[in-house]
Amino acid sequence: MTEKKHEGERIAKRLSRAGVASRREVERMVAAGRVSVNGEVLESPAFNVVASDRILVDNKPVAAAEPARLWRYYKPKGLVSSNSDEKGRETIFDRLPDDLPRVMTIGRLDLNSEGLLLLTNDGELKRKLELPSTGWVRKYRVRVNGYPTDETLAPLRKGITIDGERFMPMQVVLDRQQGANAWLTIGLREGKNREIRRAIESINMTVNRLIRVSYGPFQLGDMKLGEVDEIKAKILKDQLGIERAPEIERKVAPTEKPRAPRVRQVRPGSASPGISLRGKKRAGSKVKRKPIPPPKGPKGKRD
């Protein structure tokens, strides 16, 4: 098939915008012979398409790209963030509501981490928000086993190298010591694999709970475990410059599926104002919240 050099957009970008897969995954799909345009199987991803082209993936037509949409998801611990898992473990996509369109994760949270995960139907938006150049800070509440001090946390604030891999300086605040554990608030501008866990291990401590509470301007707030909540059009416009029709806004209730672990909310210490799992009360909510007392437990025991 002859490449169209001067019109349209690359097939990988087109399918990514349509929410089929990431650009890299589309390139693999093309190499596997799964993509055809106007009846001809593509041999290379270096191919441009226009609006009038008929595109098939696995012999199924690809719908026109929808307006970009964004959701917050409170990921429970114990779920894999990828679409499938070679070990057969349950993924977040097994728990998402059935009426949610095809979505992709913006970044990931590892199996043993929980908290805010952003979802989108648009591959270009996914790519944009994952780039370090976006400059968004991702904040985490981290419980570590040990007795950290400003001196022991200094390497993380300066930036460290682990096994030849350089980690950029982190924002680290010691919130409180609680028996043999301590709560930290950590902010990152990049998201390397198991970055926080590896960094904490490098200063001879271990992470026993990790919760992402924000991704740039988007907060976990008072979301419930497993809840999916669509970001409103006005916020998308204000934060990302994205315009879309307000009639497609909706909120998806938490899924009624088993084995979602219970999460006890924790209140941050005074050293970290504004970072909370509870957040602010959403407009229109009739639920009257009660103060959550700090966890109790015998000294030296995990809370």
* Catalytic positions: 110
- In whole angstroms, how far apart are CA 285 and each of 223, 280, 282? 12, 11, 6
* Dihedral sign (CA 46, 49, 54, 55): positive
Token pair for 77: 């611990």
Asked if residues 79 and 95 have their Cβ atoms less than 8 Å apart, the reply is yes
- Distance, in Å, from the CA atom of 38 to the CA atom of 41, rounded to the nearest integer, reads 9
Asked if residues 241 and 179 have their Cβ atoms less than 8 Å apart, the reply is no
Question: How do beta strands 165-167 and 138-145 pair?
Answer: unpaired
Question: How do beta strands 114-120 and 206-215 pair?
Answer: parallel
Question: Tokens 């696995």 appear where?
Answer: 58
